[in-house]
């Protein structure tokens, strides 16, 4: 069951990143561990991505987790979301 939910997280995060790339007219495949900044996304894009992640997963990302490192790659975003979902977001709402 957890594996299935992680697959759903992965698909949804990938869709968010693809939408942002398309909006910026960046037409390239991005691997899970590729650096999003090195592939054309600005720091403002990453802030918008963070907001999109919060909306998509109905999460509040705690201030302590609002670090560029957590949004550097698709894999890192997936790990952050999975962790917040695992916590039930109860700790994240503090």
In the DSSP assignment, the letter for residue 65 is: G
CB under 8 A, 24+ apart: contacts of 2-5: 5/82, 5/85
pLDDT in tens, 13-54: 999 999 999 999 998 889 999 999 999 999 999 999 999 999
Which residues 6+ apart lie within 8 Å of 74 measured at CB? 10, 13, 14, 17, 30, 31, 32, 33, 34, 36
pLDDT in tens, 46-82: 999 999 999 999 999 999 999 999 999 999 999 999 9
Domains in the chain, ordered, with CATH? Answer: 2-86 (1.10.1200.10)
Burial of residue 37 (number of CB atoms within 10 Å: 0-12, 13-18, 19+): middle
């Amino acid at each position: 069951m957890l594996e299935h939910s992680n697959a759903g997280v992965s698909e949804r995060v990938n869709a968010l990143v693809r939408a942002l790339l398309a909006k910026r007219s960046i037409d390239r495949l991005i691997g899970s561990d590729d650096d999003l900044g090195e592939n054309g996304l600005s720091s403002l894009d990453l802030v918008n991505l963070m907001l999109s992640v919060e909306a998509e997963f109905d999460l509040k990302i705690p201030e302590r987790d609002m670090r560029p490192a957590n949004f550097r790659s698709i894999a890192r975003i997936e790990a952050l979301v999975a962790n917040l979902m695992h916590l039930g977001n109860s700790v994240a709402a503090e």
